[in-house]
Amino acid sequence: MEKAELVLIPGPGRGHMVPIVEFANELLSGDERFSVSILIISSPFENSPVRADPMPTNISQHHIQCFHVPKPSNLPPSELYHESPENYFSLYIESHKSQVKDIIVNRFTPTTPFRLAGLVVDLFCSSMNDVARELEVPSYLFFASGAAFLGFTFYLHSHQELHGAEFEKSDSEFHIPSYINSVPAKALPSFALNKQGFVAFAALSREYKKTKGIIVNTVLELESHAVCSLSDVVIPPVYTVGPLLDLKVKSRTPSDQLEYDQIMSWLNDQPPKSVVFLCFGNYGYFSEAQLREIAAGLERSGKRFLWSARKAPKDGKFSTADDTDVTEIIPREFWEKTKEVGRVCGWAPQVEVLSHPAVGGFVSHCGWNSILESMWFGVPIVTWPMYAEQQLDAFLLSRDLKLAVELRIDYRRGSDDIVSGEELERAVRCLMDGGDGDGVLVRKRVEEMSMKCRGAVLEGGSSFQSFERVKEIILANGPMQLGRGPPKFNA
């Protein structure tokens, strides 16, 4: 049987790669009608022109092939990153269009046993719609963030028409239809406050509207208001297919395996739901002053904790966090007073920790993948956003959905702002203490949402049904075999 093949184009980085690969795994699970190619665009911060990001480790289906996209010679100047990371990434991805097209044209020949069914592009890769148009095949958007943030990207156009420019830092609040409550300016992502970033994301989202469908890694029951609000916007159909999570046991380096074994052994000795887990993603790092405040807050809270403590990278903002031992940074008294109740590590196996019965809270940067993992395992969050759209995610969780305890919704990595130990202590106590406080209500709501998220992916659930509709629309839009007459394209 001739298969319909989708070409997936994720953005660089694990946060974009993992969910789109899980989408491919799910698409092919038990369905022989499809095959998938993944075109991997390497990080812009790799020096070699041929060095690519590692192959994704969560591929579980044999009908998935990966191809590295060569770096073009006409890359945007790296200085643009300092003006706006979002604008730089957009231009960087766009510069790969010719290489992406060449890979697709060379793969689909008259003799290949599959037909090109379309391109599935990441939220940063919507410029690849141009390639789809040249090849006269459909394109679909894979949106790795939530539906509320998708709605915000469309709201950029309304704001631009009314004000002609980016948002300003102020005390203003904005009625953004995909959010229940008015959103304060301080909760907007940094790109929305930057001219180049604002214009770049507005351009990306205009291309979103030109796709045949928008596939969102969310759950209808989690973001019902946001999903319903999108029906008022003139956009393609929206399909909620989440949560798409990589929950499989992973291979590790010997040093990571040793750290994993020690962490799991320590957690096994803790009472149920007694440990608060602090982890802030690959790029979640802090100044030495902030690390000392976190230590002070944990010590004063008196709660059991597992803290993934990571310093700012030595070689600047382009790198992941530094896992170097922080023992010398934090006062000796902290180690003496917390040695019976806490553990500090560098790297931490987030999924395995969140799934452990000893873990009862999660101080998080509010990255969307981390939010979905916490909802899946029923672990409530304390919000500490850092970059990208995480401020909006923190606002959504704590104020709109009441699924998190608010520590901050406006913290930004790289600023001079310091979250005090007293602030962290109050938030941790609110979440972890019993009684009739807000933390108890948040925990109950998260546990209920966990059941809804798990039910959504079962046969008959909202995400299961949405995924089936995605499959049918892909087949209905007419897979094409390049080289057998139409479509025509310029080489």
The DSSP call for residue 400 is I
Dihedrals phi, psi of 133, to nearest 5 degrees: -65, -40
Looking at the DSSP assignment, which residues form a beta bridge with residue 136? none
Question: For residues 258 and 36, what is the distance between their CA atoms, to the nearest angstrom?
Answer: 35
Residue 490: pLDDT above 60?
no
Domain at 254-451, CATH class: alpha beta
> Can you tell me the distance from the alpha carbon of 127 to that of 91, in angstroms, rounded to the nearest whole number?
9
Domain 3-246+460-476, classified CATH 3.30.360.10, yes or no: no
Q: pLDDT, tens digit, for every residue of 201-239?
A: 999 999 999 999 999 999 999 999 999 999 888 789 999
Q: Quote the percentage of the chain above a pLDDT of 90.
A: 75
The model's pTM: 0.93
Contact residues for 106 (Cβ-Cβ < 8 A; gap 6+): none
Place 435 in a pLDDT band, splitting at 50, 70 and 90: low
Per-residue pLDDT at 45? 77
3-246+460-476 matches 254-451 in fold: yes
Phi, psi of 8 (to 5 degrees): -100, 135
> Smallest Cα–Cα separation from 324: which of 306, 314, 310?
310
Domain boundaries defined on the chain: 3-246+460-476, 254-451
Residue-wise pLDDT tens digits, 229-280: 998 887 899 999 999 999 986 777 788 888 999 999 999 999 999 999 999 9
Number of other residues whose CB lies within 10 A of the CB of residue 3: 19
Q: Which residues, including other chains, have CB under 8 Å from residue 24's CB and lie 6 or more apart?
A: 6, 8, 36, 38, 59, 61, 64
Task: Write the burial class of residue 100 (CB in 10 Å: 0-12 exposed, 13-18 middle, 19+ buried).
Answer: buried
Cβ count near 174 (within 10 Å): 17
Backbone angles phi, psi at 55, to 5 degrees: -60, 140
Q: Are 151 and 39 in contact (CB under 8 A)?
A: no
Q: 391-416: string of b/e by CB count within 10 Å (b at 16+)?
A: bbbbbbbbbbbebbbbbbbebbbeee
pLDDT of residue 248: 83
The Cα 121–Cα 47 span in angstroms is 25
Residues 371 and 397: beta-carbon distance below 8 Å:
yes
Question: For the chain, what is the mean pLDDT?
Answer: 90
Taking the CB of residue 46, how many other CB atoms lie within 10 A of it? 13
Report pLDDT digits (tens) over 150-172: 999 999 999 988 888 889 888 89
Q: Is the peptide bond before 243 cis (omega within 30 degrees of 0)?
A: yes
